[in-house]
Structure formats: structure tokens, C-alpha cells
Amino acid sequence: MVKNISALIGHDDVTKLVQFDVPDGEPGFWDKQYKFVVAGEKPVRRLDGMEKVTGKAKYTYDIYRPNQLCAELVLCPHAHARIVGVDASKAEKMPGVRGVMLAENLDAAMFAGWIIAMVAADTIQQARDAARSVLVEYDAQDFVVLEDDAGKDDNPIRKPSSGNPSIKGDVEKGFQEAFAVHEAEYVTQTTPHNCLETHGCVAEFKNGELTVWFSTQSLWSMQQAVAGYGGMPLNKTRVITEYMGGGFGSKLFGEQFADMCVKMAKKIGRPIKFMANRYFDSVACGNKPAAKMHVKIGAQKDGAFTAIRADCLNYPGFSGGASVATPFRSHYECPNIYTQETNVYTNTGLSRPFRAPGRPQGSFGLEMAIEELCMKMGLDPYEVKIKNVDVSPLDPRKYQFEVGAERFGWKKKFKKHGSDAGPVKTGVGCAVTYWGYSGDPGGAVCRCTLFMDGSAEVAIGCQDLGTGFRTMAACTAAETLGIDVQRIQVLTGDTDIGLVGPLSGGSKTTPTVAPAIKSACYKAQQKLFGRIAGDWDAKPEDIVCRENAVFNKENPEQKMPWNEAAQKVGSNMIVALGEHIPPPDVEGIRIGTGLRGAQFAQVEVNVETGKISCKKVVAVQDCGRAMAKAQAESQICGGVIQGVSYALFEDRIMDSVLGRQLNPQMEHYKILNAMEAPDIEPILIDVFDPVNCASAKGIGEPPHVPTAAAVACAVCNAIGKPIRSLPITPYKVLEALYGERR
């Protein structure tokens, strides 16, 4: 059984009325006519704010289990070595040491930081002492740690792997038709995630069950992973991630240290805690990989692109990939596009997804190429960029661009490249973002429980890595039920809840979970309204609750406060489950192909010292409809801050002689701080897109995509010279202005 609904879709500026089917018993769609009361309206206090500001929140890092041992790793100091032998006999006899375990794959170490062994001891000091006393004999091998030394063809580590090119139209023809063509190479750096809570876990076997507190973005796949490590059935394996100090993509995977922790905990019979130190976290727990992009772009006289070509080399470490070419294909309209990617390997820690994997790199190459093309042609890059996103009126891109430019004051601020007087020159830049919509149909099952006192509970087996997921869940439930958010309790962060949820990656948590919550809450409330409908001689689906008042839509005289209605719940509670069931993909009811956004950055560059400061960023972003506005804005600001930090400061430096990272400690690895933070103006633009019943899309990654590119374009605009590699340092500014030997 289905019911047909009509909905007003589109964005603030352009809308369209459409009709589609939803399954009977499922909620309708929050379209443009539906005004939010709770969700996305006034700022809602973060649900776990209290625990976090008082220091009461217990992160994995804070877990202490009775009788717990501390673990430390023995790491290979060489970039590439054969392991001849390991002698742990001395370490085993040291005070407090309860066990030493050798890693499984000990033939060769592929980078400095490779795990050799784990030591468990009563205190962390004892574990560290013992780890230092494990003797390892290495046979050091040739290695390559610098991208420039890693040949595209003759690489001693591993043969580079080339992907098939992605081809649209005919780029050669496109370049012939162009009025102007620009071609250059753009280079980005490697940056570790540096989540403030490092990677780690606590493993405990008790009463025949395994419990692992794990700083992870993926509760459920971790349950499978640790059950495998411990040889335990899944129904006796529990993973808990109540609070988490950031992940940004680096904590999506099973971990060798967790495997060793679990196995040792089983063998020794005591809980074991391992938290990575900053060194290990930096060298071995993931990074945003470097890339070299050879970019060619052509445009007609008016700025319309005729062809884009990008040949990309990704440097993901000793294995893995990067996918930096996506932005060249998806950010702007162009009839002829050719992209190709090759992964080139080095003896460094492997890359992992980092907030929109590959996109910030590609965005930098693409937007800088456009910037330089505009500089050559004497065009305003804003005019050129907006021309190339002007597709259909329902697509929000052009509108977003206009709103952002207006708020930023682009028309007033833009001057010809390098024309500001100085010595402190101001410059502006803009860039767009794109993220494919990625909710997982069936990827979450949520439970809503209504209680007779008018309170409600929603449960989801998911994790809040700091994104505000809990708050988003509460707001969605409160909006659906039409009651205050304070009445909602959210259960999450524990596989024992027994309800599957998505991993927190690909910005898919909200678009998967919000519709499931809406569905569960709607169904639970409909059960309750079924008990009122008889008295009112009404149909349950005509009864609604808004702002704590229950009434009959057909006869608004019939009404009662929510508290009174909730008494009909009785002492048995009302429980319902919900899932994300996407509306059918009917032709014409989808808006664009994903999430869009645009950012505008303003920088000041001192041409005497080379110092660059990012002053302001205006970030326009679509996330469908924001379920929790304040937290969604925080996500935008966070993406921007990491983008500015990436553009101006962060850089993993490898020593080509030692083969090791020179700056694994935060003491030497520069991250943007309070003094360097720009003024940020986040602008959420509602897009009413029936991808799910809540019109919810994820916002974790898209705002991080264009920031570095916008900052780089702004620097180019300020000094009139392109800087083609990240990070943009004072040295590079002076070099660009005055040549290599000033």
C-alpha cells in the first residue's frame, strides 16, 4: 500500500510542486511548506555539552577498568627493513611486565612506525620502559619517502598503480575551441589527522563476554573486527564509543593494535588499555595524502569552460589510494573532461580518508587553474565560476554563489590581481564544493519509545565523534513528535543497544539516521493517536502534535496538551522501529546530484615578510534541511578551520636520509591556533530535496572541500602571482614575488 503525496521542493529562490508515493504508515516529506519548530530553528544546546564542559564525559582515553594493564608498542625506526630477529627476554623480566606479544606480519617493515611488538605492564611507565628494552635486529633496505624521489615508473617500493581514465566528450577538441588555455602543475602536502584523542581501545574479557571501548567511527564494523580478533561470537562481543575526541576519517578501520590488545587481554586474563602516543598516531594512523596534479583548462572568451584535463599522481604512503580527481569532474559544468589518477607509493604511513578524501586536493588544483586562467584573461573569477555552475534553476548552485558573494561583498572587495597597494595586500578568492548524497537506505534501525509522562527515548547504534550527532537525533525526534527537545533522551554509542546504525563516514550519518528517527517517532505517535482517534471520531493520520499541543487537523477544536495525550501511553510504553526508506527515484523529483556550496575567503599578505593571514571566510552550504542548526554551523566552521590550517600551515616533513617523519609531535607540526582563526560566517541554505523523508543530508565533509582552494586563490589575487603548492608559506610568497634568490 502506498499513498501519494504532493510536495513543494527546491530552495529558497526557486520551487516546484511534485507528487510521489510513500509507503502507507510512513511519514510524509518535510517540504518547503512545512515550517520547522525545533529542528533547524533556534539553536539547541548540544546534548552532551554539560558532560564535556565539566570534564565528566568519559572518552575511551578515560576508561579505567579494575585490574587494567597498560600497553605500549615497539615500533620499527627504519623506513624499510627486514626484521632479522626480536629478543624480548629482557623486557619480559622487567618490573610490572605481564606480557609481550610480537606482531603478526614481521617479515618486513614498510615504514618507520611499523608495529613490531606490544608490551603490557601494570603502569604505562613500566610498559614504555619494557618496550624500549625489546631488542630488534633489522636489515635496513633501500627506501623512498619523498614524493619527488618516488618515480612514476621505476619505484623500488611497489609498482605504481594506474587507474583507467575517466573521459567525457573530447578534451583535445575542447582545447582547440578554447580562446585561452592554461596549463600548470599543482602540488599538495601530506597532513596527518591529529585527532586530539589519539587512536586507542580498552579490551576486557569478563563472564565469557568481550567488551571493547574503542575510539571508533564505526561501532558495528568494529564489533565484527574485535570479535574476529578475540575468536568470540558476535552476540558476546560489545563495542562502546560513548564519547570520542574526533576522528575525521582516520578511525573507520580495524586496527592492528586492537587485535593485539584483544589477544593479550584474552591470554593474560586482564583488561588492557592501549592509547597511541602522538608519535604513533602521526606516523601510522592515517593522513590526507599528497598529490601532484597536472591540470589543463580551456575557456571561451566569456569564460565558459571548453575542456578540463587533470593527470593526477596520488601519494597514499605504502598502500591505498586517494581519488583527488573527483572535483575536476563534478565541481563545474564542462562538455569535455579527462581525468586520470595514478597511485605512487612511498615508505610512509598509509593514508586514510580525511574529511572528504581527495576533494580538498583536487579542489585546490582545479580552482587555482581557473584563477590563473582568469588572471591571464583579465576576468573576474567570480563571474567565470558562476557562469559555469548555472545549470537549471532548481539546482541551488548559482543561488548559493550569489548569496555568498552578496554577504561577502565580493563586488566591492575584488580588485585586479596584484593591484592592491600593499605592503599588506588584501586579496579575495572563491571556490565551490560538491558532495554526492550518501544516505544508506536500510543502513539504520532506530527505536522510539514513548512514556506516559510525555517523555520519549530514541535509540540508535551509532557514534557521536563530536559532530553533534546526539543533538541532531534529539532535534529530529522532537520535530517529528512536535514536543520540546528537552523531553527527548538519546541512547547511542553502544552495540548493546542492538540497533544497527551507519558508520560515520561519507557524511552519511544524518541522511541515514534522521529519516529512520522520523519514521520511528511517527509510527510510535500514530499508535498513540490511534487511541485518541476513537474519542474524536478522527483518523489517526489527521491528528498531529505541534509545540506540545495535540489536535485534529480536520477539526482544530478537538485538542489536548501533549502531556494529557501521553497518559494514554499507559505503563507499557509505546515502542516503534523506523528505517530510512528513500522515496522512489522518480524522474524530476531530485534536485541536482548532491550537496553544493560555495566559499569566499579574504586574506592579507605582507609582501615584505611574506606573512599571510586569513581574515574572513563566508561559507554557503546546502545540507538539505539542517536538523540541528547550531551544530550544523559548527560543522561548517570546523571544516573551514581545518581548510585554512591545511592551506597555510600543516605539512608532514619527511627526512630523506633518516626515512622518518621529522615533525610527528605537535610541537613541530603547525596547526592553526586561536590567534590565527579567521572570522567565519556560515550560511545554511535550505534545500528541499526528497532524498529522504526528512530532507536531511550530511554536512561533515562538504564544507572542508573548497576552503584551501579559496584561500589559495585569495593569495594569488592579493600578490598577483600563483603559489602552486600547499601549504602557502611566507617563504613561498617571497619566492613567488622576488624569485628564488632574493
Give, as ranges, the residues between 239 and 258 that touch ligand FES (CB under 6 A): 246
**Nearest in space to 636 (alpha carbons), one of 692, 684, 703, 570:** 703
Which CB atom, from 86 or from 356, has the smaller least distance to ligand FES? Answer: 356
Contacts of 527 (CB under 8 A, 6+ apart): 574, 576
Question: Rounded distance, CA 14 to CA 266, Å?
Answer: 61
> In 10 A of CB 587, how many CB atoms?
6
Shortest CB 152 distance to other proteins, Å: 21
Lay out the sheet containing 237-240: strands in order across: 97-102, 115-121, 69-75, 272-275, 200-206, 209-214, 237-240
Which CB atom, from 45 or from 553, has the smaller least distance to ligand FES? Answer: 45
468 binds ligand FES per the rule CB under 6 A:
no
Which CB atom, from 46 or from 385, has the smaller least distance to other proteins? Answer: 46
**Nearest in space to 373 (alpha carbons), one of 184, 211, 552, 200:** 184
Buried b (16+ CB within 10 A) or exposed e, 137-150: ebeebebbbbbeeb
Answer with the entry of ligand FES, other proteins, none that 142 interacts with (C-beta below 5 to 8 A by kind).
other proteins
Phi and psi angles of residue 486, each rounded to the nearest 5 degrees, phi first: -65, -20
Answer with the entry of ligand FES, other proteins, none that 184 interacts with (C-beta below 5 to 8 A by kind).
none
Cis ω on the peptide bond leading into residue 423 (within 30° of 0)?
yes
Shortest CB 241 distance to ligand FES, Å: 15
Which CB atom, from 1 or from 657, has the smaller least distance to other proteins? Answer: 657
Answer with the entry of ligand FES, other proteins, none that 244 interacts with (C-beta below 5 to 8 A by kind).
other proteins
**Nearest in space to 81 (alpha carbons), one of 349, 350, 347:** 347
The correct pick among 114, 143, 522, 562 for binding other proteins (CB under 8 A) is 143
Contacts of 482 (CB under 8 A, 6+ apart): 37, 544, 545, 546, 547, 548, 549, 550, 562
Which CB atom, from 327 or from 664, has the smaller least distance to other proteins? Answer: 664
Answer with the entry of other proteins, ligand FES, none that 639 interacts with (C-beta below 5 to 8 A by kind).
other proteins
Which CB atom, from 578 or from 664, has the smaller least distance to other proteins? Answer: 664
Shortest CB 635 distance to ligand FES, Å: 11
Answer with the entry of other proteins, ligand FES, none that 702 interacts with (C-beta below 5 to 8 A by kind).
none
The correct pick among 14, 124, 575, 581 for binding other proteins (CB under 8 A) is 124
Contacts (CB under 8 A) with other proteins, residues 319-348 = none
Shortest CB 470 distance to ligand FES, Å: 14
- Residue window 277-316: x/- pattern of binding to other proteins, with contact defined by CB under 8 A: xxx-------------------------------------
**Residue whose C-alpha cell reads 561501532 in the numeric block:** 219
Which CB atom, from 128 or from 294, has the smaller least distance to ligand FES? Answer: 128
421 binds other proteins per the rule CB under 8 A:
no
**Residue whose C-alpha cell reads 565484527 in the numeric block:** 224
Contacts of 79 (CB under 8 A, 6+ apart): 111, 112, 143, 145, 347, 348, 658, 659, 660
196 binds ligand FES per the rule CB under 6 A:
yes
Alpha helices, H only, 55-93: 89-92
Phi and psi angles of residue 278, each rounded to the nearest 5 degrees, phi first: -65, -35
Shortest CB 666 distance to other proteins, Å: 4
Contacts (CB under 8 A) with other proteins, residues 46-75 = 46, 48-59, 61-62, 64, 70, 75
466 binds ligand FES per the rule CB under 6 A:
yes
Applying CB under 8 A, the span of 119-127, 450-458, 573-581, 725-733 interacting with other proteins comes to 119-127
Applying CB under 8 A, the span of 365-373, 634-642, 717-725, 732-740 interacting with other proteins comes to 634-642
Q: What angle (nearest 5°) sits at the alpha carbon of residue 415, between those of residues 742 and 183? A: 65
Q: Are 145 and 655 in contact (CB under 8 A)?
A: yes
Give how many residues touch other proteins by CB under 8 A. 76
141 binds other proteins per the rule CB under 8 A:
yes
Binding interface with ligand FES (CB under 6 A): 196, 246, 466
